[in-house]
Amino acid sequence: MNLAVLIVMLLGGFVLLIKGADLFVDGACGLSEKLKIPAYLVGMTVVAFGTSLPEAAVSVTASIQGSNAIAIGNVIGSNTFNTLVVLGSSAIIAPVLVKDKLLRRDFPFCLAISVLLLILIVTLGNGQIALTRADGIILLILFVIFMAGSIIGAKKEAVPETSGQQAEMKLWKCILLIIIGIAGVIIGGQLTVTGAKGLARMIGLSETVIGLTVIAVGTSLPELVTSIVAARKGQNDIAVGNVIGSNIFNILFILGMSAVISPMITDSYAIIDCCMLIAVSLVPFVFALFKRKINRPMGIFMLLMYVAYTSYLLIR
């Protein structure tokens, strides 16, 4: 591909990401109001799973092809990016209020499964650093439990229907906007990654550098754009729910499914990166415990953490 085509793909991808995320958030907000479901639960389920489809496609395909290091690295890298950059950027746009329910249940659960992932990689790989099929089944069972708990929670926390614009939106329109939004963010993400990879190769970056930066960040662009759009619209519940839900989905479903398809043997760096993910998961949780929100200075600190971690990866 020539330079002009790559630039058009990159810019076109960004346009699709932004517009798709805009429609996605509108549809998700409308669905929340119409079904009387708290916005953060919609963010943790419909929005989170929709924006995690690129990670699912990359990791499952990598697992089928035997590229297990890519499958595991993609999930760990994406979760790190989601927590530090997506949540940090949302906090810079508007302070993110964190509900008590998230602090009592969802944040600790996300942290716990990150610790579980480290334990599974280290101890249950038959002498190797790996995720076995049995590990994958454990992760998928936990995913089913999480989904069941979310559905039960949605019924218990049903909210009164409001008279706003989203409440007046027809149910079919909400679903249509969500579907169009998902299509936009997925296609936009693919175009952006392809264009960025082509440009990176054209200017002489190595495949390793491209994998550490473009692939991990590119598959997380839907989460980034969706959460930023949600924050700009004042839907912080969807922004923070999207990050936590995506991280849970990535570990439990994507790695679970990938490990069931093919046992995933990786290298010792996965242990270091998993420890980093646990530390990263603790940062917003500790911040939110004190003030029940993640404010702009905290968001800036989280972005600087990601810059430092990326620098370490490049040096490594």
Q: How far is CA 12 from CA 98, 190, 246, in A?
A: 34, 10, 24
The pLDDT confidence band at residue 141, using thresholds 50, 70 and 90, is: very high
pLDDT at residue 117 in the model: 92
Q: Which residue from 27, 43, 37 is spatially nearest to 237, judged by alpha carbons?
A: 43
Asked if 195 and 55 touch (Cβ cutoff 8 Å), the reply is no
Q: What angle do CA 54, 233, 103 make, to 5 degrees?
A: 70
Percent of residues, the chain, with pLDDT higher than 70? 81
CB-based contacts of 115, cutoff 8 Å, min separation 6: 278
**230 burial class (0-12, 13-18, 19+ CB within 10 angstroms)?**
buried
Which residue do the tokens 């004042």 mark? 234
Average pLDDT over residues 59-71: 69
Average pLDDT over residues 162-191: 75
**289 burial class (0-12, 13-18, 19+ CB within 10 angstroms)?**
exposed
Please give the Cα distance from 96 to 288 (Å, whole number): 9
Residue 106 has pLDDT above 80, yes or no: yes
Full-prediction pTM beyond 0.95? no
Sign of the four-CA dihedral 23, 245, 97, 99: positive
Instruction: Output the average pLDDT for the chain.
Output: 79
Pairing of strands 130-131, 293-294: unpaired
Average pLDDT over residues 91-107: 82
Q: Bridge partners of 96? A: 294
Helix and strand numbers (H, E) in the chain are 17, 4
Average pLDDT over residues 267-276: 82
Average pLDDT over residues 249-270: 84
Average pLDDT over residues 15-23: 77
pLDDT 10s digits, 181-226 = 888 877 877 777 677 777 777 877 655 556 556 667 777 777 787 7
pLDDT 10s digits, 218-258 = 777 777 877 887 777 777 677 777 788 889 988 999 899 88
pLDDT at residue 206 in the model: 58
pLDDT at residue 314 in the model: 76
The pLDDT confidence band at residue 162, using thresholds 50, 70 and 90, is: very low
Q: Which residue from 314, 281, 298 is spatially nearest to 81, judged by alpha carbons?
A: 281
Residue 61 has pLDDT above 60, yes or no: yes
Please give the Cα distance from 274 to 206 (Å, whole number): 24
Q: Which residue from 176, 240, 232 is spatially nearest to 48, judged by alpha carbons?
A: 240
Please give the Cα distance from 212 to 191 (Å, whole number): 18
Asked if 189 and 219 touch (Cβ cutoff 8 Å), the reply is yes
Please give the Cα distance from 153 to 30 (Å, whole number): 19
Pairing of strands 264-265, 293-294: unpaired
